[in-house]
Structure 1
């Protein structure tokens, strides 16, 4: 991986770890702060809301900043927030620190994706974005378990120190390796300034609105199942508790592979990559449902589900980049919010499936239904884009107009 992309990926690893690591140290935080575990769990909710609401706003307010300066400033906010969290004397201060920290998350991830695309040739942009998204994979597979271990051994405050130290290292890497000459969000390709109104116009595009809805549904499908993996494996697959931890690593390895495959598929043709990723997710969910009661098949299906579930991220982000040329980082930041909305929707759908009496076994089928809706919308969007470019020559002619048709579809 090129060093600039590595620096950005590690930054995403930091913000991703900060979001998910709380789940592993809730008992320690609950006991030390003298609050209930559900109340401590609201620290996760507060962070997620900050990402969802604050990301697009911060991105818009910093549109005139150079990309590198913005990345370093956001990492500075992230570091400050984690220092405050580590020193927080009470629950209220800690919640405030979490929300403050979250304001850097959505914009940092969006700008990192945008910068990765700017530094890459057109036919490698999705793969570059997949390398950045790898930070979120490693946050779940490595960052959160390591942070949980540190918190359990040395106290929950040590977890925030661990995240802070890593963030300082990432800032140094960004300062050293990320190029300085990068357009600000409020400049077009010619370097001319774009007004606030011109940037906001990007959200009036039906293709962008539909792409974000597809993100919510597809990501919701992933979280409908992934939120309830432990009961699926223990109650349906009858795995012992220690085996569940190993299987979650299998799921994480699959997610890393899927992230790269999703980027590769979207490099050639963005919409085709989106469709392939969603079709693979639909098939994986049905296979997982069928295999769930049988241990060896379900372990294999879990790996496939991890790969298919995370292949959608670079494909969907590449689609956003393709339809939001006027304000790419702003649109990417809004799509990060869409991913978070999908997380919440998925957790609710899975819980509703169980509460309605269908049982945890049927959760993957609910996820498959959400995926089917997302895939149907993607097919409609793909059909419309092909119709819009139908006046252009066939793609195999290799002309500049064929390249335009390829981008449009």
Structure 2
């Protein structure tokens, strides 16, 4: 029972982090209206969060990896909880930006250390399933948590939504305190060796693919709520339903991307990057009603999250001697892409573009990802995926 409860507590934490990372996309109109800022300015909340993850992932991991994992994870969730309370209480836009940055600092290290813990509390040979079990919390957050929080923000307000998310942080802390083994020790790192590996051109190119993939997704996803209203005439009351469909696409893509990557990392990445670009080109042209928009969002979501497992496999392949730090830095790379994508979408809108233009900009980034992917794969020898540690954005 100890193993089951330990994994459940990690999954609850992943659910909470997924809820706070992705819920602002559905709350942008409410936040913008309440704080008297534009939609592009509100989109900077996503940029700041992503930058915080990018900076916090390696720094917090290096600071805490040698500590007791139980104490480290509880400390990280305390940062999460405080950050969400500060977000709920923020009196103005700038304070909310700072609060979101504070919240983000736990993200990468929680998943990195949590994955290590997950592999320790199961029998040998079941490590991959344990990691998948933890990350299932994040995909569930996209299916149920984010739409529910979006609906709550529409009914009661965005501040109340952040308070609810902070309660998830308290719940996770209590679960971690009760379920994780007390005698689990931290992990030693050969920092010099791992930093040297991270400077290899092959590693940097693989991580650039990660950045571009996440950028393509977040150029559109950050502004999905107003985009659905503008392009597809989706009523505000149905936005939460659309987000459920996005979450289903994410879950489907995460599963299929992993299965296909076991067969061929290269073909999987080529196909999904191309599909991601294609869906964002076609969305403004075809998604003119709620039903068509819903179908296309499932496909887009599957392509967006489908690239995550094979990208992680590629990074782990080319940084095989430095997987601990590379895993954490790759989480940062995903979130750098999140920030770049959100900023690109804001730039399109701020310079007179519309939400169709935002979608086309995301498609262009995905096309650039295909070019860099081609260069990356030509510089690295094809390898079987093997058993690697999964990650998420």
TM-score (norm 1): 0.75
Find the counterpart in structure 2 of residue 316 from structure 1.
311
Change (3 A) 1:343 1:85: closer
Q: Deviations over 1:25-58 (max 9, x none)?
A: 67887899xx544687766554443222222211
Alignment of 1:4-43 (within 5 A): 4-21=6-23, 36-37=36-37
User: Which has the larger displacement, 9-18 or 318-327?
Assistant: 318-327
**TM-fit CA distance, 1:214:** 0.6
- Asked whether the equivalents of residues 255 and 309 of structure 1 are also in contact (C-alpha less than 8 Å), the reply is yes
Structure 1 equivalent of residue 362 of structure 2? 367
In the superposition, relative to structure 1, how do residues 250 and 80 fare at CA in structure 2: closer, same or farther (>3 Å)?
closer
Structure 2 equivalent of residue 215 of structure 1: 210
User: Deviations 1:223-254 (Å, cap 9, x if unpaired)?
Assistant: 22223434543333344444444333222222
Q: Distance in 2 between matches of 1:280 and 1:299?
A: 16
153 and 301 in structure 1: CA distance in 2 versus 1, 3 angstrom threshold: closer
Task: Assess if the C-alpha contact under 8 Å between 1:130 and 1:263 holds in 2.
Answer: no
Contact 1:250–1:302, Cα closer than 8 Å, also in 2: yes
Partner Cα distance (1:204, 1:263) in 2: 27
Q: How far off is 1:116 after superposition?
A: 4.4
Match of 2:334 in 1: 339
8 A contact 2:54–2:331 mirrored in 1: yes
Show CA shifts across 1:122-151 (max 9, x none).
998776655544433343443344445556
The alignment's C-alpha RMSD in Å is 4.1
> Residue deviations 1:84-107, cap 9 Å, x none?
556778887766554333221221
Q: Which residue of 2 aligns with 1:233?
A: 228
Matches within 5 A, 1:30-69: 36-37=36-37, 45-69=47-71
What's the CA shift for 1:352? 4.5
| Counterpart residue number, 2:197 | 202
What is the TM-score normalised by the length of structure 2?
0.77
Question: How far is the alpha carbon of 1:217 from its aligned partner?
Answer: 0.5
Determine the structure 1 residue equivalent to 2:79.
77
Question: What are the within-5 Å matches in structure 2 for residues 283-362 of structure 1?
Answer: 283-293=278-288, 296-353=291-348, 359-362=354-357
Quote the Cα distance in structure 2 between the aligned partners of 1:46 and 1:234.
Answer: 25
Relative to 1, partners in 2 of residues 1:271 and 1:107: Cα closer, same or farther, differing over 3 Å?
Answer: farther
Could you say which residue in structure 2 is the equivalent of 1:137?
139
* 1:380 and 2:375 aligned: yes
Counterparts of 2:181 and 2:317, CA distance in 1: 23
Q: Which runs of 5+ in 2 are unaligned?
A: 388-393
Distance 1:69 1:155 in 2: 34
CA deviation map 1:355-379 (0-9, x unaligned): 6677533544432332222223323
Deviation at 1:269, TM superposition (A): 4.9
Superposition deviation, residue 59 in structure 1: 1.4
Which of the pair has the greater relative contact order for Cα pairs under 8 Å at 6+ separation? 2
Cα distance 1:90–1:183, how it changes in 2: closer, same or farther (>3 A)?
Answer: same
Cα distance 1:73–1:273, how it changes in 2: closer, same or farther (>3 A)?
Answer: farther
Tell me if structure 1 keeps the 8 A contact 2:25–2:221. Answer: no
Q: Which moved more, 1:36-45 or 1:169-178?
A: 36-45
Partner of 2:257: 262
State the partner residue of 2:110.
Answer: 108
- The 3-state SS of whatever aligns with 1:386 is coil
- 1:272–1:106 CA distance, 2 compared to 1 (3 A): same
1:236-247 mapped onto 2 (5 Å cutoff): 236-247=231-242
- Give how far 1:213 is off: 0.7
Q: Which has the larger radius of gyration?
A: 1
- Alpha-carbon contact 2:202-2:380 (below 8 Å) kept: no
